[in-house]
Each structure stands twice: as structure tokens, then as C-alpha cells.
Amino acid sequence: MPGDPLRAQWAAETFLEDAICVNRVRGMLGYTGTWRGNRVTIHGSGMGMPSLSIYANELIRDFGAKTLIRIGSCGAMQERIQLRDVIIAMTSTTLSTPSSGIFRELNFAPCADYGLLEAAVSAAKAKGITHHVGGIYSSDVFYDERPDLNEQMVRHGILGVEMEAAELYILAARHGVRALGVMTVSDHLLREEALPSEDREKSFGEMVEIALHAAFPQ
């Protein structure tokens, strides 16, 4: 589940065999094909947790999805992390999600499926891809105006920031399915660096390969 529907198209055309477009509603593209004989759907989620919640709920409820992996970009929040590195999210911290009303005063801790996490790490190691495993931060906003909050994320070892994984992990827990977030570092918040658009495709390809190997370990 990439955020960008055009990235879903690119990933399907690049990695899947016999991929066909199965959804175009509201421009949110989804493609189904096969990877090494395994049936795979790559479907956009849109930006932000409310958008992802719609598509993840429907993929689980109406189409029987059992494994959902977010593939996308993120901003690094630790000095040791470099542009193009891959972050595999063990947990996701957040201020709020569309599920916050259900939990009320409870601070639910969204986490990845361990089997997927372990398989993703093994795939990254086997391919020699520089990766980091740990907690990330799922933000409600793209244009952030809380530098004090970012300082606390950095202080507490959060690896990177994105906008979808926390709600994905919560929905997976609610419905008894598996979820994981695998993100490529496209920006660095501390150093104010950004990956040029022409350099992104190869790095994003590594992320997709990790996700596929995690879903279908050999």
C-alpha cells in the first residue's frame, strides 16, 4: 500500500507479472498480478491516516486481505540514518488516529506483525540493503509546526516520520491480520536534505523488494 497511486502503478508494472488495474475510483489506483506465482495487489492508500483507513478497511472487509504492507517515503529523525536508507517500522507513535475515538483515554501501542518484521529484516540483510529497525512517528500533518514535538521524537530514538503506519497497525490488530511498514528515507529533518526525484526510483525499488520478500519468504 503506497500512499501515491502512481507509485502503485509503477510498482505493479515493475515487479508484478500480468498486472491489471482493478480500481480507479477517485483516482486511487490498484493493480493485481503475481510475483513468483503469488497473487499480489498493490493499491494506493492516499496521504494520511484517514485516507489509508478507508482503503485498508475495505481491502480487509470486502476483499479478504490478510497481509498489508505500507511502502512509502519518510523523513529521517536520527543523525546516523542517511538518504536512501530503508526504515522497517517495529512500532508507530502518534498524537491521534481515526481510531482514537474508540480507545478514548487508552494509549494503544500500534506495532508490526513480528513474522513480517523478521522476514523483512532477513530480506534486507540478504540483499545488502542499509536498513534500520525501530519506532517511527505517524504524523497528522505534512507541514509540521511543532518543532518541540520533533525534538522529543528525536530524543526518544524515533527513526523517522511518515503519515500512515500507526492506523494501519491498529486496523490490523482490530481485524486479526498482519501489517508492516517499510519506508525509504527521502528527506532528513535534522540536516534538511532531500533526495532528488530522479534518484528515487532505484531506492524505492529496494523497498518494494523487501516488502514482497517479507510477504512471501522463500
105 φ, ψ to 5°?
-80, -10
Strands (E), 36-192: 38-43, 67-76, 86-94, 131-138, 160-162, 178-188
Q: Which residues belong to the active site?
A: 187
Question: How far apart are alpha carbons 143 and 130 in whole angstroms?
Answer: 28
DSSP state letter for 49 = H
Question: How far apart are alpha carbons 65 and 40 in whole angstroms?
Answer: 10
Q: How many residues make up the chain in this entry?
A: 218
Question: How far apart are alpha carbons 113 and 181 in whole angstroms?
Answer: 10
85 φ, ψ to 5°?
-65, 160
Q: At what angle do helices 5-15 and 200-215 cross, to 10 degrees?
A: 70
User: From edge to edge, which strands make up the β-sheet containing 17-23?
Assistant: 17-23, 30-35, 38-43
